[in-house]
Amino acid sequence: MSKPLMAKATAVWLVDNTTLTFRQVAEFCGMHELEVQGIADGDVATGVKGFDPVGNNQLDAIEIDRAQADPMYRMKIKFIASAVGEEKRRGPRYTPLSKRQDRPASILWLVKFHPELSDGAIGKLVGTTKPTIQAIRERTHWNINNITPIDPVALGLCRQSELDTAVQAAARKRAADGVVMSDDERRKLVSTEQSLGMGTEGKMASGLEQFMRDDKTKPADKPSDFSDAESFFNLPQSDEDDDEDEDDRVRR
């Protein structure tokens, strides 16, 4: 483990029972130095009971003695083989209450644009359950008609790097299973960094660019040649001139 169990309660005990500096306590408990100073001033962790790291087999007493003798010494947490891996997050991702209503929209986006992702991968990305994902896949969700697919990165439910990693892992798994992906699915596997670094080749031209290209390819209209006097005076007549000539003929 990188920091002790019940870090704040451990910091309270160290502040009350040792002469360690705020920095030493902060580095050992994984806290900020000002937060430890707030504990000493009584502004932080009010009412928190101290947790003895020595009595709970997380720290050797000799480490405290060395740290009190040398302010620059950094205490090392006691290695406990049974606690290895306990700091890793387990279960689905925690989603704040203010963003939980956005999860169905992000699930629908992932199901629509990344069908290669498994239910477990989607659950880890947006912090939801498999029954909810399955209901949206089968369009049996109670509010499916009002859900609009929205990118989970835009909603703040996950980072772009996490989405890219999950998509690439799903692609590798499908390749190992012998599943052939379509060209559209391959384009979706391009990461953000790769897409930003792409040139203009292969991209669809905008409407203005296409108009300019078409205009350049059109043959230029040949200007009328009026160098000859006869051709100059034999200009095409307009409709009004034709009407006047017809009136003259009637009068005659």
Checking if the pLDDT of 111 tops 50, the result is yes
Other Cβ atoms less than 10 A from the Cβ of 10: the count is 25
CA–CA gap between residue 241 and residue 199 (Å, rounded): 58
**pLDDT, tens digit (0-9, with 9 covering 90-100), for 151-188:** 998 888 888 888 998 999 988 888 887 765 555 555 55
Domain ranges in the chain? Answer: 7-83, 97-192
Long-range contacts of 61-67 (CB under 8 A, 24+ apart): 64/14, 64/18, 64/20, 67/18, 67/20, 67/24
Q: Which of 82-91, 108-117, 184-193, 199-208 has the lowest mean pLDDT?
A: 199-208
Checking if the pLDDT of 46 tops 70, the result is yes
Q: What is the pLDDT at residue 236?
A: 54
Q: What is the pLDDT at residue 100?
A: 78
Which 8-state DSSP code applies to residue 143? Answer: T
Q: Name which of 167, 92, 181, 83 is nearest 129 in CA terms.
A: 92
**pLDDT, tens digit (0-9, with 9 covering 90-100), for 49-96:** 888 888 888 888 899 999 999 999 999 888 766 555 555 555 556 666
Q: Could you tell me how far CA 7 lies from the centroid of its own chain? A: 31
Q: What is the pLDDT at residue 196?
A: 46
Q: Name the band, by pLDDT with cuts 50, 70 and 90, for residue 245.
A: low
Q: Name which of 46, 61, 57, 59 is nearest 9 in CA terms.
A: 46
CA–CA gap between residue 115 and residue 166 (Å, rounded): 12
Report the percent of the chain where pLDDT is more than 90: 26
Q: What is the pLDDT at residue 224?
A: 53
Q: What is the pLDDT at residue 180?
A: 56
Q: What is the pLDDT at residue 21?
A: 92
Q: What is the pLDDT at residue 77?
A: 85
Checking if the pLDDT of 29 tops 60, the result is yes
**8 Å CB contact between 28 and 64:** no
Q: What is the pLDDT at residue 203?
A: 44
Mean pLDDT of the 114-137 span: 91
What's the whole-number average pLDDT of the chain? 76
Phi, psi of 129 (to 5 degrees): -110, 160
If you search the block for the tokens 């290209």, which residue do you land on? 213
